[in-house]
Amino acid sequence: MAIYQEKRKNKITKDGRSWYFRVPYVDISGKRNQHMSGKYFTKKEAQQAEREFLASIKDKSDNTNMKFKDLYFAFYEYQKDKVKETTFQTYYDRVPFLEYLDNIKLEDFNINHFETWKKNINNKNLATSYKNDILKFLKAILNFGSKYYNFNFNSVYNKMTNFTNPNEIPKEMDFYTYDEFKQFISYETDLKYICLFETLYYCGLRNGEMRGLTWEDIDFYKKTIRINKQIPTRYTSKNWKFTTPKTKSSIRTLPMCNTLYEHLLQLYNNISQHSNFKPTWFVFGQADIPIVADNPRSRQRIICKKAKVKKIRIHDFRHSCASLLINNGANVTIVAKYLGHTKVEETLNTYTHIFESALNSVIDVINNIDKIQTSHSNEVIDTIANLCNNGVSINDILNQLKNMKN
């Protein structure tokens, strides 16, 4: 057991962390291991982390005195090399919401503890969906305790109900219609930002995916953009790193519309004139430095004021893309793949209100089929159901119904 400071410059983190500890220990299965921690800014931080680690592994054969805080720490250590850094940071960010449970012995944990914790969280100004994300995280930790420390939380776990708020006003999804976007982009004069906003709007990229785009991801021959990495917004332009996209489904190749293709080609022709140009340069950054995460938002604010259009979040350009596709009859399966969603259900749940709006046109057609005989009505219903189940687009459903009418 000792505290060390890394002297090799290439092993020090980009933000300057160099202190770490190394501890030999016996794991849950009785196997001897050696734990090397991550890096810390100061020796004091490394010493505190070492003490917490030792506390978390103490008396593994007898867990009667193990507390929630010990379980959290063990969970974090277990997950450190198993999840993406951004996911691990999300875990860390939720620590403050679990503090009420810190000193409760796991053996004593009961439904009253949970209900008191839940009441505590309910008093915070958080969206119901976020509260349920925290609850989901708590359940993950309990599952970890059951699997690796043999705790039995069944009597509590099965009673842990989700947060609800019947009085909460659902937040409306904001997006630009096609006309609004054309109005917005017509006031942008910087070619790089024209390309940036068009990429967000026409391709539905996440902000991190946009930041991670390099010129080698653009295939002008095939007119496609390859999404295979990202730079999360939590990373600055000085201390940045590539990470994999949000999910495996987020790795995708998207076609470019003609407008975006022409503007990106023009931007490429300008930038590639530099004598030291490399395909690894960032599309929207400065050479080999990615764009500052807040720059698009600052630029958008200026353009919105000039164009006299509403201001939406940068992430809402992604919603705008979904709206554009759905309202123009795109197949829901295609929309899901285009946006990089893991499941079609994710697309349907996220954009339910948009699909409902599009489906109103189907109802109009049904209402106008007044010449179809009564015996035909079941055929109409069956046709719609089969088409929807097979992911057929709204436009194709309308055409099928019109053919039935004729």
Q: Which of 5, 130, 138 is nearest to 68 (CA)?
A: 138
What residues pair up with 35 in beta bridges, in sequence order?
A: 23
3-state secondary structure the chain: CEEEECCCHHHCCCCCCCEEEEEEEECCCCCEEEEECCCECCHHHHHHHHHHHHHHHCCCCCCCCCEHHHHHHHHHHHHCCCCCHHHHHHHHHCHHHHHHHCCCEHHHCCHHHHHHHHHHHHCCCCCHHHHHHHHHHHHHHHHHHHHHHCCCCHHHHCCCCCCCCCCCCCCCCCCCCHHHHHHHHCCCCCHHHHHHHHHHHHHCCCHHHHHCCEHHHEECCCCEEEECCECCCCCCCCCCCCECCCCHHHCEEEECCHHHHHHHHHHHHHHCCCCCCCCCCECCCECCECCCCCHHHHHHHHHHHHHCCCCCCCCHHHHHHHHHHHCCCCCHHHHHHHHCCCCHHHHHHHCHHHHHHHHHHHHHHHHHCCCCCHHHHHHHHHHHHHHHHCCCCHHHHHHHHHHHHC
Residue 23: its pLDDT value, please? 78
In terms of pLDDT, which residue wins out, 380 or 272?
272
In terms of pLDDT, which residue wins out, 374 or 338?
338
Q: For the chain, what are the domain ranges? A: 1-61, 63-171, 178-324, 351-406
CATH number for the domain formed by residue range(s) 63-171: 1.10.150.130
- How far is it, in rounded angstroms, from Cα 161 to Cα 139? 11
Residue 373: its pLDDT value, please? 46
Over 50: is that where the pLDDT of 303 sits? yes
Handedness of CA 358, 359, 360, 366 (dihedral sign): positive
Residue 11: its pLDDT value, please? 83
Over 50: is that where the pLDDT of 255 sits? yes
Residue 22: its pLDDT value, please? 83
Residue 193: its pLDDT value, please? 97
Residue 15 burial (CB < 10 Å; 0-12/13-18/19+)?
A: exposed
Q: Which of 59, 266, 76, 229 is nearest to 149 (CA)?
A: 59
Average pLDDT value over all residues in the chain = 84
253 CB-near residues (< 8 Å, 6+ apart):
224, 225, 226, 227
User: Tens digit of pLDDT for each residue in 306-341?
Assistant: 999 999 999 999 999 988 888 887 888 888 899 998
Residue 30: its pLDDT value, please? 47
Q: How confident is the model at residue 391 (pLDDT cuts 50, 70, 90)?
A: low
Q: How confident is the model at residue 344 (pLDDT cuts 50, 70, 90)?
A: confident
Over 70: is that where the pLDDT of 285 sits? yes
- How far is it, in rounded angstroms, from Cα 245 to Cα 396? 33
User: Tens digit of pLDDT for each residue in 204-222?
Assistant: 999 999 999 999 999 999 9
Other beta carbons less than 10 A from residue 30's beta carbon: 8
The predicted model gives 265-273 an average pLDDT of 96
**For a pLDDT cut of 70, what percent of the chain falls above it?**
82
Q: How confident is the model at residue 291 (pLDDT cuts 50, 70, 90)?
A: very high
Over 50: is that where the pLDDT of 114 sits? yes
Residue 366: its pLDDT value, please? 57
Give the long-range contacts of residues 112-117, CB within 8 A, separation 24 or more: 113/156, 114/156, 114/159, 114/160
Q: How confident is the model at residue 51 (pLDDT cuts 50, 70, 90)?
A: confident
The predicted model gives 386-392 an average pLDDT of 60
Among 163-177, 199-213, 257-271, the range scoring the smallest mean pLDDT is: 163-177
Q: How confident is the model at residue 372 (pLDDT cuts 50, 70, 90)?
A: very low
- pTM, 2 dp: 0.67
The predicted model gives 7-25 an average pLDDT of 83
For residue 360, the number of C-alpha atoms closer than 13 Å in the C-beta half-sphere is: 7
| Cβ 347 vs Cβ 335: under 8 Å | yes
Q: How confident is the model at residue 14 (pLDDT cuts 50, 70, 90)?
A: confident
Over 70: is that where the pLDDT of 281 sits? yes
Residue 222: its pLDDT value, please? 95
Backbone angles phi, psi at 230, to 5 degrees: -155, 165
CATH number for the domain formed by residue range(s) 178-324: 1.10.443.10
